[in-house]
């Protein structure tokens, strides 16, 4: 499922889930976990607790995680097998939701079951509302994430429930035994005085017993020159950036002093039509030459020659440079997925955005002003590019993975060291697309944050980079990192700050917080 790249350090990702040991369990939790099946004699005199095991499993969407064709049925069987083995006093009644018409099946079980276990397996944003609807039925509820599968639905849905005051227990671990251990708490929900809130407290106590002991591992030296905060504020408020494919074309908006201008795709399309194809081929050749080769048959890649997709990306890059020059900026955020799907982009801009960031500019996915502002803050403060990502959490190793299909290969700035990369299709495996899978380095402290301009807040956490995760799941560039702080706190802000986060290399939490406060933002520590 998860493998390590040859020649790179193993992160413990390639072992079968069922072989991983519990780490850091408390004595009480460990003793409970090791009880033999015949030790529950008292429970055998009562009917088993019935729990609806709801699997959110729609793979019929284009921008799919874990990946197109993921075997949801096989994974569901694997999860149920571990649950049934690990929870002898609980009867799990499976129900699979693949479309909106399936949701009433799960809701109708309310009077037949004692609780719900919701497993977010795939990335279909409609499933977020399904999750919220079922978890709001007033039953003891446990929500689990399929790592680099349903992570966005899981994180945003759970945070939304917490914001509404709905008690919900969570598990986000690559170790299925952790899920079984927590799910075992369903056995007591029929006891006198049991409530959904009490169930959540018991689940959290059991879950935290699976977390590994925290340790402050030393990081590699990383000399960094920071810009004075007063100068940071001045440069930020003088910044201009483009938002292509969103909003009302021609309008300009003030974002904490920085100016964002909304554009349609027509200007970019015109520059693309005029692009020098020979120069585009030169850029394509350069990117292909610098990239590491894929081994034949090792990865699922398009049958169509990748060179064609990369050449088109080169032409989009040249068009983007002209668009930026026309509007007097080096920063753009673009509705890349929507624009390509609508035929308004001839190629994904991912490789061009990589080049922009390597050269000191900024290309940002998905027409996201808050991502763009966060990356501006990182670049102005440190001189380094940020990495916008869709994160997933693995509490079994105290790790977070930052995943996206656009990543720089000069994470220490335009004059810094270069890391390797491969050219891949995007996560949707569209044969017409190409992006860089950047092998970002491990051993260094990173700072991850995001602004919410509307709420005037800045969220921040830190983690020590472990290195790249080589997995077919999720987006192409995946940076693993060990969370500094309490990973158990990282489940309640994803509805307010979106799924995205921005990561910059460097131990810069304090100066970044000072920068944010100087812009009028309230700083919130995420872990």
Residue-wise pLDDT tens digits, 305-316: 578 899 999 999
pLDDT of res. 29:
36
The helix or strand, by DSSP H or E, that contains position 448, with its residue range, turns out to be strand 445-452
Residue-wise pLDDT tens digits, 136-163: 999 999 999 999 999 999 999 999 999 9
Closest CA to 96 of 137, 138, 64, 124: 124
User: Apex CA 281: angle with CA 277 and CA 285, to 5°?
Assistant: 170
Give me the residue spans of the domains in the chain.
25-208, 229-525
Please provide the average confidence, as pLDDT, over all residues in the chain: 90
Q: Which residue has the higher pLDDT, 293 or 280?
A: 280
CATH architecture under which domain 25-208 falls: 3-Layer(aba) Sandwich (3.40)
293 band by pLDDT with thresholds 50, 70 and 90: confident
For residue 70, pLDDT beyond 90: yes
pLDDT of res. 301:
60
pLDDT of res. 296:
59
Tell me, what DSSP letter sits at residue 110? G
pLDDT of res. 15:
33
What does the pLDDT average to over 61-69? 92
pLDDT of res. 43:
45
For residue 118, pLDDT beyond 70: yes
What does the pLDDT average to over 33-54? 65
Closest CA to 462 of 444, 483, 443, 441: 483
| Structure tokens given for 188 | 């007591």
What does the pLDDT average to over 179-191? 97
pLDDT of res. 391:
98
For residue 38, pLDDT beyond 50: no
The helix or strand, by DSSP H or E, that contains position 243, with its residue range, turns out to be strand 240-244
Distance CA 221, CA 443 (A): 9
What does the pLDDT average to over 436-445? 97
For residue 501, pLDDT beyond 70: yes
Q: Which residue has the higher pLDDT, 309 or 300?
A: 309
pLDDT of res. 302:
55
pLDDT of res. 214:
76
Task: Give the rounded percent of residues in the chain with a pLDDT score beyond 90.
Answer: 85
Distance CA 437, CA 301 (A): 13
pLDDT of res. 217:
77
Report the SS3 class of residue 175.
Answer: coil
Residue-wise pLDDT tens digits, 245-257: 999 999 999 999 9
34 band by pLDDT with thresholds 50, 70 and 90: very low
Task: Give the rounded percent of residues in the chain with a pLDDT score beyond 70.
Answer: 89
For residue 264, pLDDT beyond 90: yes
Distance CA 139, CA 111 (A): 10
Contact between residue 458 and residue 522 where contact means Cβ atoms under 8 Å apart: yes
CATH architecture under which domain 229-525 falls: Alpha-Beta Barrel (3.20)
What does the pLDDT average to over 286-300? 77
What does the pLDDT average to over 377-397? 98
Tell me, what DSSP letter sits at residue 292? B
Distance CA 79, CA 523 (A): 39
Catalogue the E-assigned strands of 264-380.
Answer: 331-334, 362-365
35 band by pLDDT with thresholds 50, 70 and 90: very low
Catalogue the E-assigned strands of 98-175.
Answer: 115-120, 141-145, 169-171
């Amino acid at each position: 499922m998860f493998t390590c790249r040859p020649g790179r350090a193993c992160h413990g990702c390639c072992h079968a889930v069922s072989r991983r040991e519990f780490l850091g369990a408390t004595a009480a939790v460990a003793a409970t976990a090791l009880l033999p099946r015949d030790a529950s004699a008292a429970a055998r005199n009562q009917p088993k607790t019935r729990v609806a095991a709801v699997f959110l499993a729609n793979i019929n969407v284009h921008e799919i995680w874990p990946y197109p064709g993921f075997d949801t049925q096989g994974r569901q069987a694997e999860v149920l097998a571990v649950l049934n083995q690990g929870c002898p006093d609980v009867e799990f009644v499976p129900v699979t939701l693949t479309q909106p018409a399936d949701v009433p099946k799960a809701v109708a079980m309310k009077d037949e079951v004692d609780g719900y276990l919701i497993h977010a397996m795939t990335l279909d944003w409609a499933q977020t509302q399904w999750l919220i609807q079922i978890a709001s039925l007033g039953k003891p509820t446990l929500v689990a994430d399929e790592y680099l599968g349903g992570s966005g639905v899981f994180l945003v849905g759970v945070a939304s429930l917490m914001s509404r005051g709905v008690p919900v227990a969570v598990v986000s671990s690559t170790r299925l035994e952790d899920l079984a251990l927590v799910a075992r708490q369903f056995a007591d929900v029929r006891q006198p005085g049991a409530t959904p809130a009490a169930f959540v407290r018991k689940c959290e106590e059991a879950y935290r017993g699976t977390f590994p002991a925290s340790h402050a591992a030393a990081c590699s030296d990383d000399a960094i020159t920071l810009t004075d905060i007063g100068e940071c504020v001045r440069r930020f408020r003088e910044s201009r950036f483009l938002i292509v494919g969103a909003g009302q074309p021609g309008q300009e908006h003030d974002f904490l002093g920085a100016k964002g201008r909304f554009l349609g795709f027509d200007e970019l399309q015109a520059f693309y039509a005029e692009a020098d194809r020979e120069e585009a081929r030169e850029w394509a050749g350069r990117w292909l030459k610098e990239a590491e080769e894929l081994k034949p048959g090792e990865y699922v890649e398009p049958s169509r020659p990748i060179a064609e997709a990369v050449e088109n990306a080169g032409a989009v890059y040249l068009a983007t440079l002209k668009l930026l020059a026309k509007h007097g900026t080096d920063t753009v955020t673009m509705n890349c997925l929507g624009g390509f799907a609508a035929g308004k982009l001839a190629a994904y801009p991912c490789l061009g955005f990589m080049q922009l960031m390597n050269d000191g500019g900024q290309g940002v996915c998905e027409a996201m002003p808050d991502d763009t502002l966060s990356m501006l803050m990182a670049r102005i403060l440190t001189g380094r590019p940020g990495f916008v990502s869709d994160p997933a959490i693995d509490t079994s190793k105290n790790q977070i993975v930052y995943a996206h299909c656009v990543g720089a290969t000069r994470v220490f700035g335009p004059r810094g060291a270069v890391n390797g990369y491969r050219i891949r299709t995007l996560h949707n495996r569209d044969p017409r697309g190409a992006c860089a899978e950047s092998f970002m380095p491990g051993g260094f402290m990173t700072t991850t944050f995001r602004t919410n301009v509307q709420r005037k807040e800045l969220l921040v956490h830190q983690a020590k980079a472990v290195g790249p995760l080589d997995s077919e799941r999720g987006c192409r560039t995946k940076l693993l990192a060990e969370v500094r702080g309490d990973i158990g706190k990282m489940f309640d802000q994803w509805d307010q700050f979106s799924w995205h986060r921005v990561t910059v290399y460097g131990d810069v939490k304090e100066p970044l917080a000072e920068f944010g406060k100087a812009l009028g933002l309230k700083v919130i520590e995420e872990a």
